[in-house]
Structure 1
Amino acid sequence: MELSQLRTLIHVADLGSLSKAADRIGIAQPALSRQIRMLEEELSVRLFTRHGRGMVLTEKGREILEHATRVMAELEEIRATASDLDTPLRGRIALGFPPTVADILSVPLVTAFGRTHPQVELRLVGAYTGHLIDWLHRGEIDVAILYDPLSARSLRTEPLLLEKLFLIGPTGSGLSGDRSIPFGDLDGKRVLLPSTRHGLRTIVEQCAIEAGIRLQIAVEADSYATLKDLVRHGHGWTILPLSPIHEDIAAGRLLAAPLIDPAPVRQLVLSYPADRPVSRLTRFAGDKIAEIVADQVERKIWPGQLLRSA
């Protein structure tokens, strides 16, 4: 078994295609096909199912991919340990974000890597917390920001931010950041919220129970862009963090006010798989994420309470 075969396995699994993997790493497709075939013969197992649209890992292939990813991460860690601390890092890293977080972190994070470690290959993955937890376990992503992962005991987590959620209304609704709205005032209003599979919905419904009201949910939409557009056109009110819509607030396209009695909040954490060591590259990513979040909080773009020093 050779390291080149493990690299090929990782790239083909990531892209689902031999031709795309060949383009990515600059090796002829027949050579990559031969490496996969030799690895399958050596392990006496079928790693991929081939079909007209590409290649999909078998169940045993997914298990072997997890081990291959760990081997390559350990190899990169050996190189990093032997190198000077000021030497630019190399390698590949996959980072996971909930949709609202991806919108605000992607550009500054890519900028930071480009400035400090330009040879690193970044993969940014946007998904809901449940999917991100699963991908962390599978080794498909290296680090993620998660919302309240109470059931993720197999993850190594670091508290990052206690994020405030705000009542969002259209222009002319009279909402103001200087005047708090009691949660009970939502009784009888048309409310637009994500579906029940979304963690934000759970937080809002718990607040409604504490306030002793029943929410009138007019529309369910898991897209934040859809929710804010519906509000902007006068179809109801929603409850969101300000970070993904701060430009709309600044431009006056939407209005926002803090909620009290109770005040809805949710905790963000940095999460790493607990079953493998955190590489220098992954740690740099986590630290840089914390710095960017702290900067956004200081600039009033991301209202909340920092739980981790940058």
Structure 2
Amino acid sequence: MELKQVQYFIALFEEGTVTRAAKRLNIAQPALSMQIAKIETEIRQKLFERGPHGMAPTEAARLMYRLYTPIMRDIDHAREHLSRRDVIVTGRVSLGMVSSEAQSVLPESLARFDALFPQVEVSVADGFSAQLIDAVEAGRLDAAIINKPRGRLSLDVEPLLVEEMVLVTSAAHGPALPDAIDLTQPFDFELVLPTRRNGLRGALDAALMAADVVIQPKFEIDLLSTIVQFVEQSAVATILPRVVVQPKVDDGLLRVHTIASPPIVRHIIQVTHPKRPIGSAAQALISIITEEIRRVTTRAPE
């Protein structure tokens, strides 16, 4: 999903009619309708129902609005701050990230951030979500980007992204599987998954449990880079977010298969301490990382 499409969605949600939203965006009405249709196709959800008084948002649209509005505010804030060329931002940002995101988009994100904030020092730690939560609570980290845990948190929480998880196989050695997989039906391939200490496994197990599906992986490994390399070199499959495997998919080394049933997603959130609000530099870095994750995952063919 592109940033432009999110802006179009928010305009239609807030204005209530295609006519007013298109006027606000200064675009043609068919162009707006086409972009909304693309979003609906991508997320496989209906966002609006046409009624006598305009476009009525569905529950999916209300959820999307709640998730994306804070992100767009952060991006607008970062742009406004960056446009003030008379201000030189200094200081230090201490950020935590789950390994799946750090390994996937951190190098590009830091390069972009450094070009914009050359006077700011950055420290990034990776780890499991529980470890990063403890570090934010103790004040060792300003903020952390983590998988949403099941329980309630005493920290301030900001939704960032909802990521699709996909079945991944080797392009050279993997089993011949269709583009879409139904995990509620019996299958004969072996799986390697993260251990239950990993938030990704928690999201996976929760989705499978809700669908009364039980799977038993043959291998459990915490290092995601090792899982990816193992799958690339074997007939074993895995289930991971697209962002983790997309570079090797682009290189033709891995294949991804949509999980048609049950749908499996993981929620990425930002956590901060309620008594220690983060500064503009930290907000800008998190916005850049969020944009990079979205860029990588939406680059995949639909």
The normalised TM-score by structure 2 is 0.65
How many residues are matched? Answer: 218
Do 2:93 and 2:121's aligned partners in 1 also have CA atoms closer than 8 Å? yes
Secondary structure at the counterpart of residue 184 of structure 1: coil
Partner of 1:119: 119
Structure 1: unaligned runs, 5 residues or longer: 1-80, 304-310
Query: Aligned equivalents of 1:272 and 1:156: distance in 2?
Result: 5
TM-aligned CA deviation for residue 154 of structure 1:
2.0
- Output the CA distance in 1 between the equivalents of 2:293 and 2:215: 32
Query: What letter matches 2:175 in structure 1?
Result: S
Paired residue for 2:175, among 169, 173, 176?
Answer: 173
Letter in 2 for 1:284: A
Q: Distance in 2 between matches of 1:149 and 1:204?
A: 12
Could you say which residue in structure 1 is the equivalent of 2:108?
Answer: 108
| TM-superposition CA deviations, 1:239-297 (whole Å, max 9, x none) | 01121221211222221101022111010012221122222222222333333334334
Runs of 4+ in 1 over 6 A off after TM superposition: none
| Residues 258 and 154 (structure 1), Cα distance of their counterparts in 2 relative to 1, 3 Å cut | same
1:294 to 1:249, Cα distance in 2 relative to 1, 3 A: closer
User: Aligned partners of 1:253 and 1:299: how far apart in 2?
Assistant: 16
2:205 is matched with 205
Structure-2 separation of matches of 1:184 and 1:95: 38
C-alpha distance after superposition, 1:144-185 (max 9, x if no partner): 111113435222221111100001112252346xx3110124
Shift of 1:99: 0.7
Q: Which one-letter code corresponds to 2:193 in the other structure? A: L
Structure with higher Rg: it is 1
Equivalent residue of 1:222, what SS? coil
Question: Which residue does the alignment assign to 1:220?
Answer: 220
Mapped to 1, the partners of 2:282 and 2:234 lie a distance apart of 43
Describe the SS at the equivalent of 2:290. Answer: helix
Partner of 1:250: 250
Moved more, 273-282 or 217-226: 273-282
Distance in 2, Cα, partners of 1:94 & 1:273: 13
For 1:6-58, what per-residue CA distance to the aligned partner results, in whole angstroms no more than 9, with x for missing partners?
xxxxxxxxxxxxxxxxxxxxxxxxxxxxxxxxxxxxxxxxxxxxxxxxxxxxx
* Residues 279 and 214 of structure 1: CA distance in aligned 2, closer, same or farther (over 3 Å): closer
Q: Give the Cα separation in 2 of the matches to 1:98 and 1:241.
A: 12
Contact (CA 8 Å) 2:170, 2:232: kept in 1 or not?
A: yes
Aligned equivalents of 2:101 and 2:261: distance in 1? Answer: 26
Q: Evaluate the alpha carbon distance shift between residue 121 and residue 232 of structure 1 in structure 2; reply closer, same or farther with a 3 A threshold.
A: same
What is the distance in 2 between the residues matched to 1:106 and 1:122? 12
Distance 1:185 1:88, change over 3 A: farther
Q: Aligned equivalents of 1:254 and 1:295: distance in 2?
A: 19
Kindly indicate whether the alpha-carbon contact (under 8 Å) linking 1:187 and 1:213 is maintained by their aligned counterparts in 2.
Answer: no
Give yes or no for contact 1:88–1:116 (8 Å, CA) kept in 2: no
Report the TM-score when normalising by structure 1: 0.64
Higher relative contact order (CA closer than 8 Å, sequence separation 6+): 2
The Cα of 1:112 is off from its aligned counterpart by: 2.2
What CA distance in whole angstroms lies between the structure 1 residues aligned with 2:213 and 2:252?
30
- Give the whole-Å Cα distance in 2 for the aligned partners of 1:248 and 1:288: 22
- Contact 2:163–2:266 (CA<8 Å) still a contact in 1? yes
Residue 138 of structure 2 is matched in structure 1 by: 138
TM superposition shift of 1:188: 4.5
Q: Which residue of 2 aligns with 1:190?
A: 190
Structure 1 CA distance for aligned equivalents of residues 159 and 185 of structure 2: 32
Look up the equivalent residue of 1:173 and give its one-letter code.
Answer: P
Distance 1:293 1:249, change over 3 A: closer
1:77-96, CA deviations, whole angstroms, 9 ceiling, x for partnerless residues? xxxx9xx7742211111111
Question: Which has the higher mean CA deviation after the structures are superposed, 152-161 or 116-125?
Answer: 152-161
Conservation of the 8 A alpha-carbon contact between 2:191 and 2:236: yes
Q: Is the 8 A contact 1:193 1:220 kept in 2?
A: yes
